[in-house]
Amino acid sequence: MLREYLPVLLLLGFAAVNAVVILGLGELVTRTHPTEIKQQPYESGMAPLGDARDRFSVKFYLVAMLFIVFDIETVFMIPWGVHYQQLSCAVPLVDGACPAGQLSFFGLGEMLVFALILLVGYIFVWKKGGLSWD
């Protein structure tokens, strides 16, 4: 029974080794010339220290909102991808495969419509200048 969890263990191990390798390589290879500004924590271009109740540009909200829109697009695509085989088959799957001649374009069309609506939104945002910072 525990064998079923072997892939999880392998993934865990891979992630750990990967992290160590990447960080270690960075330590070994890079040359550092620290300045005061470089040493500050990264806060998307804002002053990292000081009063938190400070005014900052509303543009950050805009970027965050646009990010969420496309984030949700991805989130929606994952369950769609998982069920794609069933969605592109006009009858219930037999042994995880679609019987011959029963393929339909429903699943593909569904996602195309969704992507197209988002594309219109993207063009709108672009045209309105929502993607440029200044």
Partner 1 sequence: MTDFAEPGALLGALLPEITLLLGTLILLLVGAWGGESSSPTRRSARFALGIVGVTAVAVVFAWLRGDGFTTDDRLTGDGFRWAIDLVLLLGTAGALAIFDTEQLRTRAYQAEIPVLMLLALSGMMIISASRDLMFTYIGLELMSIAVYVLAGANRSSARSAEASIKYFLLGAFASGFLLYGIALLYGAVGDTRLSALGAATPSAMYLVGVALLLVGFAFKVGAVPFHLWTPDVYDGAPSPITAFMAACVKASAFAMLLRVMAEGIGPAIVHWHPVVWWLAAITMVVGNVVALAQPNVKRMLAYSSIAHSGYLLVAVLAYSQEAAAAVVFYLLAYTLATIGAFAVLGIVSEGRETTVTIDDLSGLWHVRPGLAVALSVCLLAFFGFPIAGGAGFFAKWYVIQAALASHTPLTVLVVVLVLASVVSAGYYLTAISAMFNRPRPSQLPMPVQTPLLSGIVMVVAVVALLVLGVFPTPASRLAAAATLRAAPLATPVAGTMTVSAPTVAATEDAGSTP
Is residue 94 at the binding interface for partner 1, with CB under 8 A as the rule? no
Is residue 97 at the binding interface for partner 1, with CB under 8 A as the rule? no
Least Cβ distance, residue 33 to partner 1 (angstroms): 46
Q: Which long-range contacts (CB under 8 A, 24 or more apart) does 123-126 make?
A: 125/66
How long a stretch of residues is the chain?
Answer: 134
User: Is 31 or 127 the residue whose CB approaches partner 1 more closely?
Assistant: 127
Q: Quick check: helix, strand or coil at residue 98?
A: coil
Q: Quick check: helix, strand or coil at residue 73?
A: helix
Is residue 120 at the binding interface for partner 1, with CB under 8 A as the rule? yes
103 has which bridge partners?
A: 89
- Kindly tell me the burial class for residue 117, based on how many C-beta atoms sit within 10 Å of its own C-beta (0-12, 13-18, 19 or more): exposed
Least Cβ distance, residue 48 to partner 1 (angstroms): 30
Is residue 10 at the binding interface for partner 1, with CB under 8 A as the rule? no
- Contacting residues for 77 by C-beta, under 8 A, at least 6 apart: 111
Least Cβ distance, residue 106 to partner 1 (angstroms): 5
Among 5, 61, 70, 124, binds partner 1 (CB under 8 A): 124
Among 20, 46, 117, 131, binds partner 1 (CB under 8 A): 117
Nearest-angstrom CA–CA distance, 52 and 58:
15
In the region spanning residues 26 to 85, those forming contacts with partner 1, defined by CB under 8 A, are: none
Quick one: which segment of 8-16, 48-56, 75-83, 118-126 binds partner 1 (CB under 8 A)?
118-126
